Structure 1
Amino acid sequence: MADVVREREGVPVLECDPDGPPIATVDDAVELVGSVFLGARVAAVPVRRLDERFFALGTRFAGEVMQKFVNYRLRLAVVGDISAHLASSAALRALVAESNRSDHVWFVPDFAALDDRLRATAPR
């Protein structure tokens, strides 16, 4: 399966293929932002597409990736189980909690949870 744009809860979402190329550099993140601009408002990225450095906050890679989405007023949804990463990092737990309170970057366990978030943030 290739990356594909699908409407979820009335929002065009770029659903990234779990087997697609890794997001391992800031340039990879910029390329992803460009792909989102081709017709989506949200990038749904499976956890396994993200380089392990994304979850090691000392590398600052997560911050750089997240900032790209914020700068372009796009949403990034990290989709999948990150419990092992959370168990080993209080800083990551804090980042995830803070991000999930915002409107630009979400960490969700699955697409059903993403749909819930999209529904909750839909204009009324």
Structure 2
Amino acid sequence: MPDVIEERAGAQVLVCDPDGPPVATERDGLDLIGAAFLGAEVVAVPATRLDEGFFSLGTRFAGELMQKFANYRLRLAVVGDISEHLAASSALRALVRESNAGGHVWFVTDLDALDARLRALDHRAGREA
């Protein structure tokens, strides 16, 4: 399946193909951002597409990629099981915890969990309006 934009829980989401090209460089991230500009507000990237360097915070790739998405006002959702990476790094655990508490970058286990986050965000926005 190619990367496709679909409506999920009231948001336009670029759902990336798990078998698509790896996201290993800043340029790869910009390619996803460019694809999202066709109408998505969230980019759901399978964790399996992210280069191992993303999960090794010393490379700074995660921070750079997350900042690019923030600069373009797009949400990034890393979708999939990253438990092995979390077990190996307390810094990554802290990053995931902090990111999940915010509204711009989320680490979720699957697309259903992303839908739940989007519904909760929509619900909070509706209550505040």
2: CA distance, partners of 1:29 / 1:64: 9
Give the alignment of 1:1-124 within 5 angstroms: 1-122=1-122, 123-124=125-126
The CA deviation at 1:107 is: 0.1
The number of aligned residues is 124
Gapped regions of structure 1 (runs ≥ 5): none
The CA deviation at 1:76 is: 0.2
The CA deviation at 1:62 is: 0.3
Q: Which amino acid aligns with 1:78?
A: V
Helix, strand or coil: the match of 2:120? helix
2: CA distance, partners of 1:32 / 1:105: 15
Q: Could you say which structure has the higher helix fraction?
A: 2
Q: Which amino acid aligns with 1:42?
A: V
2: CA distance, partners of 1:101 / 1:73: 17
Moved over 2 A (4+): none
The CA deviation at 1:55 is: 0.1
TM-score normalised to the size of structure 1?
Answer: 0.99
Q: Which amino acid aligns with 2:13?
A: V
Gapped regions of structure 2 (runs ≥ 5): none
TM-score normalised to the size of structure 2?
Answer: 0.95
The CA deviation at 1:58 is: 0.2
Q: Which amino acid aligns with 2:46?
A: P
2: CA distance, partners of 1:110 / 1:10: 17
Q: Which amino acid aligns with 2:39?
A: G
1: CA distance, partners of 2:77 / 2:63: 14
2: CA distance, partners of 1:115 / 1:95: 21
CA RMSD of aligned residues (A): 0.5
1: CA distance, partners of 2:102 / 2:29: 20
